Structure 1
Amino acid sequence: MTPIVSGDPAADLDSGALEATIADLAEEAGRVILPFWRNGVAVERKADDSPVTLADQRAEALILERLAALWPSVPAVAEEAMAAGGEGRVAAWWWLIDPLDGTRGFVEGKTAFTVNIALMRGDAPAAGVVSAPAIGRTWATRGGGAVARDDGGAWRTIAVRARPTRGSMLLSHSVKPEAAARLAAEHDCAAWEGTDSSLKFCLIAEGLHDLYPREGPTSEWDTAAGQAVLEAAGGQVLDKEKARLRYGKPGFLNGPFLAKGA
């Protein structure tokens, strides 16, 4: 039985109510998104020329409404609200939300798009969930570890794998072949592949790959939930100074980082 939500994020994190609830919520947001997928959804352009669809907007509205009702004292920083001119307030506890990470791929009919919800404690993720509606899989923090489930089934424990002699690397689809080859050589990886969204963190957390180096900018809502899951599975997300990637930075923007397993 899922513990009852008290409205206190610290208490609900300790009891397990928060992690269970946000996992269910991310999957519910995915069910809002799926009817728009491969269905000719209209695309608008934000000020930074990134795409947004009605699927992004409706999923974010659901998530924000539900979180505000359950934890009214916890402010939220969410991608579409920020794009619309939201202020974005950081507190002792706060949410970082990307209702549809990988919108470009979503519009193109690809499967690697996700719903990201992270609870932040100060400048670091305390809990997180990443749900991939098109493939029916969800990854989450749970009781100090990391878990995954398929199609709402039973949770299974996941963990990063021991690094093989020459690892496997994930990259954004936007990385050029020459840059990918350079990164593979730098990190002694025998193979690499491109995929979209926060899925990259989760595939490393499951022990299917070893590294995700990122050189270009990302927004904090792109990475927080994935970082929470990967760290809970035994991995790390390090900035260019090789320190843990932190949050609440100006503009909620990340610099280069390396997500890694063992």
Structure 2
Amino acid sequence: MSTPYASELRLALHAVHAASLLTKAVLRSLKNNVAAETKADDSPVTIADFAAQALIIAAVHAVYPDDRFIGEESAEALRQNHGLAERVWELVQRARTVEAARTSDLQHVLPHDGDAALAFPASKDEMLDVIDLGTSTGSRDGRVWVLDPVDGTATFMEGKQYAVCLSLLVDGVQQVGVSGCPNLQFETQGPLARRRITEDQVDADGYGVVLSAVKGQGTYVRSMHANGLGEARRIQHDDTPKQLSTLDFVESTIGKTSLSQDEHRAVAERVGAKWPGTVLWSQQMKYAALALGATDVLVRLPKDRDRFSYLWDHAGGHLLVQEAGGVIKDLDGGDIDYGQGRKILGDRNFGMVATMPSAFNGIMQAVTEVLEMRTR
């Protein structure tokens, strides 16, 4: 008897693996000279972002045509820039060739035995339409796939850590989460916990790892290879209470965030911990590090309740942490509401704390005390 969401998980792993190979090929061929456009929010968008979104949505849409999608990218820039669109289309076609060779010649070693090859857009115009399927706005009702084709585009362009992310929401609840980490040099054999993750600890010759979770079924890690995935290994952490002063706080690159980093530091100092501990730019990579046990605490203290987060920066990654045994709450102690559409609004979910259960109350108390200083 099949377990719940087994087919969705298998497809998500297949699509994220293919998109991870695509993005890694871009890095290796362009050697950090990645062609980029600039979005309205001034963040860089590479051809890999667009191509990976087209690949993932096309693959899932072919199997689940009635499902909706929320993705970071739209095809507006490609429709206005024919040269850029042509480069993205060439990349999608190359990915199709790689996938065809993989599924025909190496079927005996693929982790997706019996699955058909992924579907790809049949034309450049279809590719643009597929990318735009990701512009859905609602996530409260029905089945909605949320994707970030390249989370951490800035560090991706530097050849550092990034994530390829896909998750499934059903009636606003996370059910499946898959995050490919193509640059993460992380040995999946032996004890997992306390292996450090850094921006520069890059898997230059391989393809990193992929993490996956299904609600109620645990979190797993697999190595990624050119011809498939390694064996799944469940991530299980010993939640023996630790001194709060020994906990590792994960933080973004210092000074490049709209969050209140001074208060992040104050929380760490209040419990006697070093700050920052692990430094990672990609939000989804932070969740991967927490799930793997490479760091202990994530705090997100916005400067006010007007701040929002985008759904694709958190969906799926939250599930990885929770199914590995972690706790994630907003600063009012509430669960994160994934039914808000494309944004997680600060007036509904103000900030965030993520850690293991044994440390959660102590960290939340320190956060509360730091926030009380705002009103004095």
Q: TM-score, normalised by structure 1?
A: 0.86
C-alpha contact (below 8 Å) 2:148/2:166 kept by paired residues: yes
- Alpha-carbon deviations, 1:180-213, whole Å to 9, x = none? 5323124553452210221111221122221111
Corresponding residue for 2:181?
132
- Tell me how far apart the structure 2 counterparts of residues 186 and 129 of structure 1 sit (CA, whole Å): 34
- Alpha-carbon deviations, 1:139-168, whole Å to 9, x = none? 101461110011221111103442421211
- CA gap of 1:159–1:205, structure 2 versus 1, over 3 A, is farther
Corresponding residue for 1:225?
316
Corresponding residue for 2:219?
146
Aligned residue type for 1:150: S
- Pair 1:159 & 2:232 matched: no
C-alpha contact (below 8 Å) 1:234/1:261 kept by paired residues: yes
* Alpha-carbon distance, 1:248 to partner: 3.0
C-alpha contact (below 8 Å) 1:148/1:155 kept by paired residues: yes
Alignment of 1:51-130 (within 5 A): 51-81=44-74, 86-90=135-139, 91-110=141-160, 112-130=161-179
Q: Secondary structure at the match of 1:240?
A: coil
- Tell me how far apart the structure 1 counterparts of residues 146 and 75 of structure 2 sit (CA, whole Å): 11
- Tell me how far apart the structure 1 counterparts of residues 270 and 66 of structure 2 sit (CA, whole Å): 45
- Which structure is higher in strand share? 1
* Alpha-carbon distance, 1:178 to partner: 4.4
Q: How many residues are paired up? A: 251
- Alpha-carbon deviations, 1:27-82, whole Å to 9, x = none? 11011111222341111111111111100000000001011011111101000039
Q: Which has the larger radius of gyration?
A: 2
Aligned residue type for 1:157: R
C-alpha contact (below 8 Å) 2:264/2:300 kept by paired residues: no
Tell which deviates more after alignment, 171-180 or 38-47: 171-180
- CA gap of 1:96–1:180, structure 2 versus 1, over 3 A, is same
- Tell me how far apart the structure 2 counterparts of residues 15 and 55 of structure 1 sit (CA, whole Å): 28
* Alpha-carbon distance, 1:174 to partner: 4.1
- Alpha-carbon deviations, 1:204-225, whole Å to 9, x = none? 1122221111234431101111
- Tell me how far apart the structure 1 counterparts of residues 19 and 57 of structure 2 sit (CA, whole Å): 11
* Alpha-carbon distance, 1:254 to partner: 4.7
Unaligned runs of 5+ in 1: 4-11
- CA gap of 1:175–1:218, structure 2 versus 1, over 3 A, is farther
- Pair 1:20 & 2:10 matched: yes
C-alpha contact (below 8 Å) 2:163/2:179 kept by paired residues: yes
- Tell me how far apart the structure 1 counterparts of residues 5 and 152 of structure 2 sit (CA, whole Å): 32
- Pair 1:169 & 2:249 matched: yes
- Pair 1:35 & 2:25 matched: yes
- Alpha-carbon deviations, 1:86-138, whole Å to 9, x = none? 3423332211110000001111221x100110101222211100111122111
Unaligned runs of 5+ in 2: 78-131, 185-207, 303-307, 358-376
